[in-house]
Amino acid sequence: MRVMAQLGMVMNLDKCIGCHTCSVTCKQAWTNRSGVEYVWFNNVETRPGQGYPRRYSDQETWKGGWVRTARGRLRLRAGGRFKKLLSIFANPVLPNIRDYYEPWTYDYETLTDAPLGDDFPVAQPKSLISGQPMAVEWSANWDDDLGGAPEHGPRDPIVERIRTESEDKVRFEYERAFMFFLPRICEHCLNPSCVASCPSGAMYKRAEDGIVLVDQDQCRGWRMCVTGCPYKKVYFNHRTGKAEKCTFCYPRVEVGLPTVCSETCVGRLRYIGLFLYDADRVTEAASVENEHDLYPAQLELLLDPHDPQVIAAARRSGIAEDWISAAQHSPVYKLAKQYRVALPLHPEFRTMPMVWYIPPLSPVVDRLTETGHDGEDAGNLFGAIDALRIPIEYLAELFTAGDPEPVRTVLQKLAAMRSYMRDVTLERPRDESIATAVGMTGGEIVEMYRLLAIAKYEQRYVIPTAYSGEARELEELGCSLDVDGGPGMVAGSGPFGEASGRPLPVSVETFHALRHRQTSEELADPGEPGARINLLNWDGKGRPAGLFPPRRTASEPESGTADPTADPRPDTPMAKDRP
Amino acid sequence: MSGVDVLLWGVLPYVMVVILVSGTIWRYRYDKFGWTTRSSELYESRLLRIGSPLFHFGLLVVIIGHVIGLLIPESWTDAIGLSEHAYHIQALVLGGIAGFCTLVGVGILVYRRRTSGPVFMATTRNDKLMYVVLVAAIVAGLATTVLGTGIIGEQHSYRETVSPWFRSLFVLQPDVASMGQSNLEFKIHTLIGMLLFTIWPFTRLVHAFTAPLAYLFRPYIVYRSRDAGPATRPTRRGWDRVG
Ligand code: SF4
Ligand code: SF4
């Protein structure tokens, strides 16, 4: 047993309202540069729908992930090492920019520059790739909210698959349509096929926390990772010629902050925490024969952080105590392994993805009530699960390689939770049989309810900081003038005044400030007289002392008053010409 | 043996080697981020899929041909009973085909660069210069193959002129006289070749130096530690590591 730690995420799909806040904040943080205009480390797909890039999950076309050979070994679907090197001069299955979309802007200038005339000037869309005017025909969420579903919906690879099995399950007529949202980031897989595909060895999995990264200095732009990732979550920066991907916001999680997408999620549906897993058995688990066994095999890899043997093994592999304790409080471990309500996305790709999803229970209660049933009665709910608007078959194709059983169990647990909690809320006697029917105890159900419904920030995100031993390295190394009282200690400035000296690493500075702001109730007050407040860290609360320069009193004449051109309103902080 | 000959075949090659080696080291140290194929496959793949393999594989064969022709002395092939004539036939056929593929390939790639809007937009001046020198080197090389083997014009045995000179460079005793006796096509091809290697470290061609052969031998999944060292967190000025 070789214990390794892995940061994982769980998303509760019942709560996703498809607002795309996560995508936009992620983009603002990481990919608002030229060359990555089309890159969405986080994207939110409407299901049924084609996803981004178009039909990415159809591996017959895109050749991502692993396949199991007849001899029971894993092979990259796009071909082994030799084939990769032979096709290195032109990757045969690289998505074209049009499979994503051609990024564009609008020619806003004509709005202000157009000569006076009878027609209103319009801002034409212009391609950011070729600079030419273009027709906008597709984008990262073109089929958002089932837009154009009659036309685009049937091209969803899962719809295609279940349609051939049972004609009726997926409908796109308005009355019978269903949809839900699927936010996606890189899965930070345990068995990442992107890493395995990289000829230069520039992609790697971080040994400490399992985050999968691209070394920008070592990447040579061979583009094999783009093909290798079955989730199409490695993107090619067409300006720099390097691959880029979701970084799990590693500069944030290193200081204990959640990723930007989680932090800003409107539905508060994301959970981040640690898994401990057995690295020696990953390949074995990823190569089980029956695809339906992949989800159970993946669960098997996750080790119980309370088991003394596991703890001992973790210590042997050098995992720090605070990390072990974080793993014990990990919300993702609870949801994925303990309650078993979170499922992996497309386990059949055999990459052992580490972003898990709680499938949506669709508006089942209202439907039951409409038809004159008690919508929160456990029996009725269990019965209704197979008649849900979102067909179980569809969810099973997404989360369990097509096996409906685990999905049904999860939905039953969620239904049981509603039913059981109704009795709790109404202070009626609790019906323990509801809990036992889904293999849980009443206590567990209440705990799960608390985690899913009302968990606070600290419970949703249990992120240990980078090794305490390394904590000092995360800070900037001190300069020799930084002794107490030395010139280096003036807050926020170097020996030659503000902003002189070596710059603080921007990430460390702002992340600490951000963290402070999020976890404290006080004003963003620098505290010392004379110190200025960094506006970036001001959260609008109150009027901290350093916000404006101190007022001058009448008895304290300004040095320049003899000058007739001096500002006559010395009290106004905004006055111009103020030194 | 004129002064020009000495300059061209006795001095220039070493200047080229110095620039090539020091330029490559310099680029590797200071511009790792810029060290990439700068692929444009994302924009256009139909033509690339024909042109690029044609060019690259053709070029690999051409390189092998150069190695054989320049490094293996005539006496060795004589010894295994390969006659001068037979050698020239195979060199012409193999070299001709490979060279032709390379030329067609690069032709397709240049055409693609010019006609596909986004690809043209992404073409820098550096690329254009590199393409001119590269195509010139290929054309001149093909010319030597066709002309030198006596199909048109007089047969010229470069293995008695160019090759001895090339080998003599390695022992630091350039055989300028041999090279001086070769014909004009070979001299032009050699000069353009030297120019190509001189600009090599400063163009996108550097990607060839990091051909990922190690991929064949490494384990599939790469793990790296967060504190793997300078590559991940650059140490700051004044904090160079000791030892
Ligand atoms: S999801 Fe992420 S870790 Fe998994 S294969 Fe794709 S890029 Fe790699
Ligand atoms: S921010 Fe949250 S609720 Fe909004 S789309 Fe993203 S995951 Fe869904």
User: Which chain B residues contact residue A204 at CB under 8 A?
Assistant: 222-224
Contact B226 A466 (CB under 8 A): yes
Please tell me the distance from the alpha carbon of residue A237 to that of residue A63, in angstroms, as a whole number: 21
Q: How many CB atoms within 10 Å of residue B215?
A: 21
> Cβ(A212)–Cβ(A195) under 8 Å?
yes
**Residue with CA closest to ligand 2 atom 8:** A16
State which residue of chain A sits closest to B211, comparing Cα positions.
A200
Instruction: Look up the CATH number of the domain holding residue B60.
Output: 1.20.950.20
From the CA of B53, how many Å to the nearest CA of chain A? 5
For A529-564, how does the pLDDT look when each residue is reduced to its tens digit (9 = 90+)? Answer: 556 666 666 666 677 777 777 777 655 554 444 444
Please tell me the distance from the alpha carbon of residue B243 to that of residue B226, in angstroms, as a whole number: 21
Q: Which two tokens stand for residue A124?
A: 């034409």
Find, among A267, A188, A246, the residue nearest to A19 by Cα. A267
Element holding A396 (H helix, E strand)? helix A392-399
E strand map for A351-492: 355-358
Contact A473 B227 (CB under 8 A): yes
Least CB–CB distance from A477: residue in B207, B232, B236: B236
The CB of A266 under 6 Å from ligand 2? The reply is yes
For A9-61, how does the pLDDT look when each residue is reduced to its tens digit (9 = 90+)? Answer: 999 999 999 999 999 999 999 998 889 999 999 999 999 899 999 999 999 99
At the topology level, CATH places domain A331-460 in nitrate reductase domain fold (1.10.3650)
* Residue A524, CA distances (Å) to A520, A527, A536, A552 in order: 9, 9, 10, 23
DSSP secondary-structure letter at A532?
Answer: P
Contact B33 A215 (CB under 8 A): no
B85 is in an annotated binding site: no
In a domain, B222, yes or no: no
In a domain, B228, yes or no: no
B207 is in an annotated binding site: yes
Task: Please say whether the dihedral angle defined by the alpha carbons of residues A375, A376, A379 and A385, taken in this order, is positive or negative.
Answer: positive
User: Ligand 2 mean position to A342 CA, how many Å?
Assistant: 17
Find, among A63, A14, A352, A22, the residue nearest to A223 by Cα. A63
Please tell me the distance from the alpha carbon of residue A323 to that of residue A255, in angstroms, as a whole number: 13
Please tell me the distance from the alpha carbon of residue A297 to that of residue A352, in angstroms, as a whole number: 9
* Residue A86, CA distances (Å) to A225, A430, B48 in order: 15, 65, 15
pTM of the model: 0.83
In a domain, B175, yes or no: yes
> Cβ(B165)–Cβ(B178) under 8 Å?
yes
pLDDT score for B229: 43
DSSP secondary-structure letter at A550?
Answer: P
Q: How many CB atoms within 10 Å of residue A281?
A: 15
Contact B42 A97 (CB under 8 A): yes
User: Ligand 1 mean position to A194 CA, how many Å?
Assistant: 6
Q: Which two tokens stand for residue A410?
A: 């999860």
Q: How many CB atoms within 10 Å of residue B184?
A: 11
Tell me the DSSP string of A2-33. Answer: -EEEEEEEEEEGGG-----HHHHHHHHHH--S
Calculated CA dihedral for residues B144, B147, B148, B153, nearest 10 degrees? -150
> What domain range includes position B25?
3-216
The CB of A350 under 6 Å from ligand 1? The reply is no
Looking at the complex, does the CB of residue A90 fall below 8 Å from at least one CB of chain B?
Answer: yes
> Cβ(A282)–Cβ(A541) under 8 Å?
no
**Backbone angle region of A232, left / alpha / beta, with phi > 0 → left and psi within -120 to 50 → alpha:** left
Cα A359 from chain centroid (whole Å): 17
B56 is in an annotated binding site: yes
Terminus-to-terminus CA distance in chain A, angstroms? 67
In a domain, B77, yes or no: yes
Please tell me the distance from the alpha carbon of residue A358 to that of residue A342, in angstroms, as a whole number: 4
User: Ligand 2 mean position to A179 CA, how many Å?
Assistant: 15
Terminus-to-terminus CA distance in chain B, angstroms? 51
Please tell me the distance from the alpha carbon of residue A545 to that of residue B154, in angstroms, as a whole number: 92
Looking at the complex, does the CB of residue B31 fall below 8 Å from at least one CB of chain A?
Answer: no
> Cβ(A45)–Cβ(A181) under 8 Å?
yes
Q: Which two tokens stand for residue A273?
A: 């925490």
Strand partners, A358: A12
Least CB–CB distance from A216: residue in B33, B55, B220: B33
Element holding A205 (H helix, E strand)? strand A203-206
pLDDT, tens digit only, all 579 positions of chain A: 899 999 999 999 999 999 999 999 999 999 988 899 999 999 999 998 999 999 999 999 999 999 999 999 999 999 999 999 999 999 989 999 999 999 999 999 889 898 988 988 999 999 998 888 999 999 999 999 988 888 888 889 998 888 776 666 666 666 667 889 999 999 999 999 999 999 999 999 999 999 999 999 999 999 999 999 999 999 999 989 999 999 999 999 998 999 999 999 999 999 999 999 999 999 999 999 999 999 999 999 999 999 999 999 999 999 999 999 999 999 999 999 999 999 999 999 999 999 999 999 877 777 777 777 777 788 888 878 777 778 888 999 999 999 999 999 999 999 999 899 999 999 999 999 999 999 999 999 999 999 999 999 999 999 998 755 454 444 444 444 443 333 333 344 444 444 444 444 455 555 666 666 666 666 555 555 556 666 666 666 677 777 777 777 655 554 444 444 444 444 444 434 443
The CB of A265 under 6 Å from ligand 2? The reply is yes
Tell me the DSSP string of chain B. Answer: --HHHIIIIIIHHHHHHHHHHHHHHHHHHH-STT-S----TTT--HHHHHHHHHHHHHHHHHHHHHHHHHHS-HHHHHHTT--HHHHHHHIIIIIHHHHHHHHHHHHHHHHHHHHSHHHHHT--HHHHHHHHHHHHHHHHHHHHHHHHTTSSS----GGGTHHHHHHHHHTT---HHHHHHS-HHHHHHHHHHHHHHHHGGGSGGGGGGG--GGGGTS-SS-EE-TT--TTTSPPPTT-PPP-
**Mean pLDDT for all residues in chain A:** 84
In a domain, B165, yes or no: yes
How many domains are there within chain B? 1
State which residue of chain B sits closest to A209, comparing Cα positions.
B226
User: Ligand 1 mean position to B13 CA, how many Å?
Assistant: 47
Residue type for position B202: F
Between positions 232 and 291 of A, the ones with CB within 8 A of B are 236, 238-242
From the CA of A241, how many Å to the nearest CA of chain B? 4
B88 is in an annotated binding site: no
The CB of A192 under 6 Å from ligand 1? The reply is yes
Residue type for position B148: G
Q: What angle do CA A29, A31, A36 make, to 5 degrees?
A: 175
Contact B32 A218 (CB under 8 A): yes
Looking at the complex, does the CB of residue B38 fall below 8 Å from at least one CB of chain A?
Answer: yes
Domain boundaries, chain A: 331-460
The ipTM of this complex is 0.87
Find, among A228, A346, A335, A355, the residue nearest to A295 by Cα. A346
Strand partners, A531: none
In a domain, B177, yes or no: yes
